[in-house]
Amino acid sequence: MNADGMRTSPPTLHDVARVAGVSLATASRVLNGSERKVAESFRERVEKAAEELGYTANASAQATARGTSAVIALLVADIADPYFGQIAAGVARGADAQGLIVTVAITERDADREAKILRALRGQRPRGVILAASRAETPDARTTAELAAFAPLGGRTVTFGEGGDRSIRIDNRGGAERLGREMAARGYRRAIAIGADEGVRTSDDRLAGFTAGFGDGGGRIERVYRGTFERESGAASMTTALAEGVDAGTLVFALSDVVAVGAMTAIRDGGRSVGDDIAVCGFDDVPVSRDVTPRLTTVRVPLADLGYEAFRATVDAEWEQPPLELEVVVRESTPGR
């Protein structure tokens, strides 16, 4: 206490127990998440005392009592990418309904950074860990080892693709194949593809699927440019393509809507138009695809629902992923030829 009788340090668990008139062990069981039963009258007294004192439970103590903390850790490549923003919204929806907290870490698709984040998270004993970034064809050994280390701590790991205790699966190849067939049916015969580096599973599956579907319809991929999942990469790849020459009527397939938007900007900056001149299609159907002009043709992935399913996979013992429908959405960026 200071000279005015005001508390100068935060209230402790001992203070809560004293005000509630219960033992320290009982107060701890109520506030730190122990599974041992406490009489309802004691629980009410402890919770009332904690509220009056402004006491905040110690997260480390809660993790020790429960074996895991009330935290779901979500690892994304880039929080500015609306793809991950929608997944995070779905995870948060599920966590909120069960009184859990979501903590988000950014990996920047760097294997070393990802492994270090996972190692740091182990000390927090999260209830579950969700890796939402695309997995490489050959998973990094450090990440694999870190994921395996969560099992003895009681946490469950969920990955988009292989690698965790449970996997969230997206039929990237099938969705892109249907898009390729649809674009060929609309009269396109020449295409340029913009993907990420080889070995990134999401990109490889989407490029392979689109190539197969477009080819089945009589189309041909003339060039493939490689970069990243970022908007700037789409713009840079498209700028290079324009410098090398792009005939009117060519279709551009970008591995994601974000990359497609970058390509559309480069087309306009190059004095060309999107649509009748150079057509563009993407993948994911993030909100920006409906806001750009012309609106972007894409493959709709229910990303928020996938985020919710990823959350369920971390906490539900009997979880199985429900069927996932991907829908080709044709808009003005790919007018029929």
Is 172-301+325-329 the same fold as 13-65?
no
CATH classification (class only), 172-301+325-329:
alpha beta
Q: How far apart are the first and last CA of the chain?
A: 80
Percent of the chain with pLDDT over 70: 91
Among 31, 77, 83, 21, smallest CA distance to 54 is for: 31
User: Please, are residues 131 and 106 in contact by the beta-carbon 8 Å criterion?
Assistant: no
Domain boundaries, the chain: 13-65, 67-168, 172-301+325-329
Residue with tokens 């950014």: 106
pLDDT (tens digit, 9 = 90+) per residue, 152-173? 777 899 999 877 889 999 999 9
The CA–CA distances, whole Å, from 114 to 8, 72, 77, 83 equal 40, 16, 9, 19
DSSP structure class, residue 323 = P
The residue type at 192? I
pLDDT (tens digit, 9 = 90+) per residue, 53-75? 887 665 555 544 454 578 999 99
Averaged pLDDT, 306-331: 93
- Both tokens of 179, joined, read 């898009």
Residue 6 makes CB contacts below 8 A (sequence gap 6+) with none
- What 3-state DSSP class applies to 40? helix
User: Please, are residues 175 and 181 in contact by the beta-carbon 8 Å criterion?
Assistant: no
pLDDT (tens digit, 9 = 90+) per residue, 106-165? 998 888 899 999 988 887 888 899 999 876 666 788 888 888 888 777 789 999 987 788
Q: How confident is the model at residue 33 (pLDDT cuts 50, 70, 90)?
A: low
Give the per-residue pLDDT at 2.
Answer: 47
Distance (Å, whole) CA 175 – CA 172: 5
CATH classification (class only), 67-168:
alpha beta
User: Please, are residues 49 and 19 in contact by the beta-carbon 8 Å criterion?
Assistant: yes
- What 3-state DSSP class applies to 127? coil
CATH number of 13-65: 1.10.260
